[in-house]
Structure 1
Amino acid sequence: MRSGTVRAWSRVHTWSSLISTVFLLMLCVTGLPLVFAHEIDEVLLHQDWSPTHADGRRLDLDQVLDAALARHPGDVPTFMSFDTDRPVVNVTSRAPDAPAGAYNFQPIDQTSGEAAPLVAGHPVMEFILQLHTDLFLGLGGMLFLGLMGLMLLVAVVSGVVLYAPFMRRLPFGTIRAERSARTRWLDWHNLLGIVTVAWVVVVGATGVVNTLAVPIIAHWKDTALADLAAAYDGPVALDERASLDAAVDRAREALPGMTLQFVAFPGSDYSTDNHYAVFFHGDTPVTTHLITPALIDARTGELAAVAPMPWYVKALSLSQPLHFGDYGGLGLKIVWAVLDLITIVILGSGLYLWIVRRRRAR
């Protein structure tokens, strides 16, 4: 490679790294506890609770919905989800005049209709997640962090290009311990960078995809569901809606063998103004994250369509757990945490090398 080409790639690597380093360090530091978010929440929020009638008949979903809305009169239901380890149905609703993002979340004991203990993230973990996701700036913050993720990918690619001529001079893994501190850190920076390059690309790319979640879902709704929405004159009123329990049963018939995940009510982000969107997932580590909705006409309770997610929504669904190593249990999470710590060292050493070089230049 010509010296001019090396210098050009070096500038690309230096500035793409510098522009994003502070934010990438923040993402790595906040991402470390988020890898173990489930385990941390279980320790900090453990509650001894049992259903009112553990062996009794469970209420149907219409009764559960009525019990939840009775606690928030005037609310409009938006989502219903289901706990996997206890007979609890979570009903999310909002007041018609509530500001965007303002919801009421009510866990209901399905054996009695009474309120169940809320199992949500610890406030500290919720703070860390919000900082990691959007810097408390909403969609703008998400897109900005996505840009920083792209800068990371540019830095990785340029670093790999620069590593090729470097490797011609030294055996792989060489650490020149007898040289200056700057040289030793340069060797460690290069070695750790090339060893973790595949992981950094995977986490960086999935992070970029995750920052596009809002426009991805909006595009899916505006395209894949547009034809269904066009067949109606207006939104279906609450008192005109068919039985929710019957709608879910009809969706189960359309997607046998799959596991019910959540229901999106008419007018919510994941449905149209006239359909219950009943979402199911598979039962393997991968298909658990791939959801398929059955759309049920909210007026008649009849199946309107089974709408498999397009490739870009599937990519989003798979990237979210992959970003945090949430596929292979605790062992994979530990690997993710170790690689995260190594990435912090790479970012810190890169910043140190730049500062030292600037001082020498002066």
Structure 2
Amino acid sequence: MSASIEPGTVKRALSAHAAVGLLAGAILYILCLTGTIAVFYVEMQRLEQPNAPEMAEIAPEAVQRGVEAVLAREAQEGLAPTTHLYVHIPVEELPRATVTTDTQAFHLDREGRIAMPEMIEWNDFLVHLHYTLNLPSLVGITIVGIFGVMMLALSLSGVIAHPRIFRDAFRLRARNNAGVGLTDWHNRLSVWTLPFGIAIALTGALIGLATVTAYGLAESAYGGDVEAVYAPVFGEEGPPDPAPAAAPDVAAALQYMAREYPDVRLTYAVVHDPLTAGQHVQMIGDHQRRLIFGEYYAFDSEGAFQGTTGMADGALGQQAAASTYKLHFGNFGGVWVKIAYVALGAALTAICATGSYIWLGKRRRRGIEEPRLRAAWTGVIVGTPVALVATAAARAIIGNEAPFAAIFWIGLAAWIGGSIALAGRRREGAPETAA
């Protein structure tokens, strides 16, 4: 006796299957849109907090005063000792000196005095939305990495599925005959952005899956020691020693870099385990005309040079790993590269949007009418930028303390829900056609 499935059950299963496909497309759309906006993350920081002190450079002694002032302030406030302290060195794109700990961040003035807290929560929200979908870090960045793999597969399979895609690279049929015009634009944009799309998808997948891969390797081969996995690429942390100690000599390390590596543009000074006997200092230096995010220059707590990690001249795999970040975010080559990234990112966003419309159109032509799914997709396409604008408005009205993630996700869900409800009312109010 063969089991049979009710037609209604099959129809509901197909609708659920389609909804899952749209959910995946929606996440790709959100990632592409937020990534395109985040290209100008540095510039938007200056817009979000325009009154922060700015300077072309800061003296090593001023940096030292700033480090000591922030550490003293945290001790006075009774905060838990920070494990890492970062000093952003003023550069052309972001001419600000900022000290960041595990719990807070402060802008410094030219003399190294604490000027004001850093208040760029909206920008941080946007970056976290792109990096982790505002989920817990490990879970979110892994999901985003998986979608990077999915985007890479879509790019490559799209070329294979359309053997004439390159020959028809500039062929556009203006009339939207049963979705032909939309399909042409989708295919043309896919061809024109193919190298960019592959680069973004590949680097996004590498960045997103690196963390979970490191945890897996640590459990299987390093006894759970994640730092041991990262050590061959990013260098070793060194043995911890929690005994109290005076603040490290960051100024001496900065002076050494200015004297011995004058062509290296410093971007960050990093203090590991500050105010402990195991503390040490790293300088991150940007190498011009290179894709690496920077080389690590190691110093002990007295400012004595210990060596480099090898990002600039180490193994090819190490250099490649250090090059994924600039290639993914477009922060190399100046403003014109950023403008190109925004234009190409907007094209990728349009590809994500039109792809699902084309798919829904094909289902409609096969007699599968799904107005609620189409409305849900339109809700995603329109609701995502609307929700982002709502978070920006909240930043202007409420301030830095606004719950940006809640505003975005609740606003987007409400917009999608409203679109579905409106589509349902229209369908119920539509006149029945005669048989």
- 1:202 equivalenced with 2:194 (yes/no): no
Residue 187 of structure 2 is matched in structure 1 by 190
Identify if the C-alpha distance between structure 1 residues 57 and 189 changes in structure 2 by more than 3 Å, giving closer, same or farther.
closer
Q: Tell me the alpha carbon deviations over residues 340-360 of structure 1, each in whole angstroms, 9 at most, x when there is no partner.
A: 222222222221221122233
Aligned residues with identical type, % of pairs? 23
Q: Tell me the alpha carbon deviations over residues 266-290 of structure 1, each in whole angstroms, 9 at most, x when there is no partner.
A: 338xxx9835232232452536x54
Residue 336 of structure 1 is matched in structure 2 by 341
In the TM superposition, residue 172 of structure 1 has moved relative to its aligned partner by 4.6
Q: Tell me the alpha carbon deviations over residues 300-339 of structure 1, each in whole angstroms, 9 at most, x when there is no partner.
A: 6544333223555543443323323322333332222222
Residue 97 of structure 1 is matched in structure 2 by none
In the TM superposition, residue 264 of structure 1 has moved relative to its aligned partner by 2.5
Q: Which moved more, 1:152-161 or 1:305-314?
A: 305-314
Alignment of 1:282-301 (within 5 A): 282=286, 284-286=288-290, 289-298=292-301
- CA distance, structure 2, for counterparts of residue 140 and residue 80 of structure 1: 25
Amino acid at match of 2:91: T
In the TM superposition, residue 34 of structure 1 has moved relative to its aligned partner by 1.3
Residue 136 of structure 1 is matched in structure 2 by 134
- 1:162 equivalenced with 2:154 (yes/no): no
Residue 125 of structure 1 is matched in structure 2 by 123
| Counterpart secondary structure, 1:46 | coil
Residue 328 of structure 2 is matched in structure 1 by 323
Identify if the C-alpha distance between structure 1 residues 322 and 355 changes in structure 2 by more than 3 Å, giving closer, same or farther.
same
- 1:83 equivalenced with 2:85 (yes/no): no
Amino acid at match of 1:79: L
Amino acid at match of 1:91: V
Amino acid at match of 2:296: P
- CA distance, structure 2, for counterparts of residue 226 and residue 125 of structure 1: 29
- If the length of structure 2 is used for normalisation, what is the TM-score? 0.63
Partners of 1:263 and 1:277 within 8 A in 2: yes
Amino acid at match of 1:306: T
Q: Which moved more, 1:156-165 or 1:245-254?
A: 245-254
- CA distance, structure 2, for counterparts of residue 334 and residue 37 of structure 1: 13
Residue 65 of structure 2 is matched in structure 1 by 63
RMSD: 3.9
Q: Which moved more, 1:133-142 or 1:253-262?
A: 253-262
| Counterpart secondary structure, 1:284 | coil
| Counterpart secondary structure, 2:163 | helix
Amino acid at match of 1:42: R
Amino acid at match of 1:41: Q
| Counterpart secondary structure, 2:330 | coil
- If the length of structure 1 is used for normalisation, what is the TM-score? 0.74
Partners of 1:176 and 1:184 within 8 A in 2: yes
| Counterpart secondary structure, 1:117 | strand
Partners of 1:58 and 1:110 within 8 A in 2: no
| Counterpart secondary structure, 1:238 | coil
In the TM superposition, residue 253 of structure 1 has moved relative to its aligned partner by 6.0
**Structure 2 counterpart of 1:262, from 246, 268, 276:** 268
- CA distance, structure 2, for counterparts of residue 273 and residue 19 of structure 1: 51
- CA distance, structure 2, for counterparts of residue 297 and residue 205 of structure 1: 36
**Structure 2 counterpart of 1:358, from 354, 363, 385:** 363
Identify if the C-alpha distance between structure 1 residues 208 and 277 changes in structure 2 by more than 3 Å, giving closer, same or farther.
farther
Residue 104 of structure 1 is matched in structure 2 by 104
Q: Which moved more, 1:194-203 or 1:176-185?
A: 176-185
Identify if the C-alpha distance between structure 1 residues 258 and 59 changes in structure 2 by more than 3 Å, giving closer, same or farther.
same
Identify if the C-alpha distance between structure 1 residues 129 and 280 changes in structure 2 by more than 3 Å, giving closer, same or farther.
closer
| Counterpart secondary structure, 1:72 | helix
Q: Tell me the alpha carbon deviations over residues 44-91 of structure 1, each in whole angstroms, 9 at most, x when there is no partner.
A: 42227478xx9x987455433322222221553522312236996433
Q: Across the two proteins, how many residue pairs are aligned to each other?
A: 327
In the TM superposition, residue 203 of structure 1 has moved relative to its aligned partner by 1.6
| Counterpart secondary structure, 1:305 | strand
Amino acid at match of 2:298: L
Q: Which structure's relative contact order is higher, taking Cα pairs within 8 Å and 6+ residues apart?
A: 1
Partners of 2:53 and 2:96 within 8 A in 1: no
Partners of 1:259 and 1:283 within 8 A in 2: yes
Partners of 1:134 and 1:145 within 8 A in 2: yes
In the TM superposition, residue 160 of structure 1 has moved relative to its aligned partner by 0.7
Partners of 1:17 and 1:151 within 8 A in 2: no
